[in-house]
Structures are given as structure tokens and as C-alpha cells.
Amino acid sequence: MAALGWGLLGAEATRLHTVRVVGLERASEAQIRHLAGLIEGQPLVRLDLDQAVNSVERHPWVARATARRQFPDTVVIQVEERQVRALLMLERLYLVDTQGEPFRIATAPDLDHPIITGVDQQILRAQPVLARRVLQDALSWLDAVTSQGTLREADISEVRFDAASGYTLALRNGGELRLGFQDHQVLERLSALVARGVDLSHPHRVDLGFSQIAVVTPL
């Protein structure tokens, strides 16, 4: 047992020589290694991998991470990065991930996404749960409209939130789709309108915020 213990804790063969990071696209390997804080030469069995994972998950691009020992001398850090779903207009543009979480200031490579407006910095700070719900609902409207097939995401420039009137999708051609606080079933009315000849490739204001009817106004 003593020999086995020495083999695990003290032998050069079971000390950390390599940290391998997989799953990266946006974060750099150097940044992940630095955050993990794993020191070369430490015995593998003494490494605090939970702490390393918690530190790695502080990186803005990292949604989740795991780490495992790979004997005799390696730790493998598996990273799952955030996917950009939209932009959030505050004092600057921020990236929003698929969970409705703003996670960093937007830069040029990530500007081709719909912009969510109507959520200000004060709401984010004072009522973070409410703000996140608004962002998640905005993303759910994007998903619902694009999965329905009437509009493509490329057709949508903005998701506007207003505490009094609800959600509105602004289209790149100048049209508007007013959704209010209705549920996704109102999109069935949109499909019916398109089937009857409403051409959304031309600017229209389509108001679906009523309980039973839809109002279409050419712009």
C-alpha cells in the first residue's frame, strides 16, 4: 500500500505534465489554462479539478466546463462555449446567449443578429429575474417565428419590448409584427394571412396583439 501511495503521489510518471483543452472556438487555450491554474509537476490525484472548473467557467465565452484526469500525466478540460443568439441594446451592444444571458460587449464579428431593445441597465440591476425573463421571451419569439417558416431570422432586425404593449418584431424591410403579450398560437393567424396573399416581403404592419383578430396595414 505504501508503494502504491508513493506511485500515485510522488512518482514522476503520475505528476501533471500536460493540460489539454478541447471544445474551444472563441476562447483561447492560453486563457483557459491560466484560469484553470493547474501547476505542472503536481501529483494528479491532489489536483482540485472542481476549483479549476469553477475558475474556467468565469470566462465570458464558457457556458460549462468539465475536467478529468487522464493517467499518467494529463488533465483534459472539456469546454462548452456560449452560442450567440441575439444582441442587447444597452449603453452599448451586448451579446446574448441561447439562455437569455448577456455575457460580453459585442464586437464586429457578432453584429449580424437581431437586436433586443426596451430592457435598460436599471432593470437589469434592480430586477435581474424580470430582465432575464424578458430576454428569454424575446428569444422564444424569434425561435417561434423562424421555426414556423413565415419569416427567416435574416428578415428580423429587432425585437422591441415595451412594458405596456408587449413585443414587436421589426423587419429589415421596414415592416412590423406586433405580438403584444399573446402566446405563440397567434402565429397561426400570421400563417393564415400569408396563405391569403399578405406578402411580408413588402413592408406591412401586422398587429396580432388582439385576442381574436389580426390587423394588417400596408406601409
Residues 27 and 116 in one domain: no
Residues 109 and 44 in one domain: no
User: For position 4, what pLDDT does the model report?
Assistant: 52
User: For position 10, what pLDDT does the model report?
Assistant: 54
Specify the 3-state DSSP secondary structure of 149. Answer: coil
- Strand locations in the chain, DSSP E? 18-22, 62-70, 74-81, 84-89, 93-97, 102-105, 115-117, 156-162, 166-171, 176-180, 204-207, 215-218
Where do we find the cell 393564415? 192
pLDDT, mean of each 10-residue run, the chain (219 residues): 51 85 96 97 95 98 97 96 97 96 94 95 88 96 93 95 96 96 92 92 93 88
Residues 44 and 109 in one domain: no
CB 169 within 8 A of CB 175: no
Residues 129 and 159 in one domain: yes
Note down the domain range covering 76.
Answer: 2-81
User: For position 135, what pLDDT does the model report?
Assistant: 97
User: For position 103, what pLDDT does the model report?
Assistant: 96
Residues 146 and 207 in one domain: yes
Residues 92 and 199 in one domain: yes
User: For position 210, what pLDDT does the model report?
Assistant: 84
Cα–chain-centroid distance for residue 22?
20
CATH code of 54's domain: 3.10.20.310
Domain boundary among 81, 101, 129: 81
Which helix (H) or strand (E) is 138 found in, with range?
helix 128-148
CATH code of 89's domain: 3.40.50.11690
Measure the CA–CA gap between 138 and 162, rounded to whole angstroms.
11
Residues 90 and 194 in one domain: yes
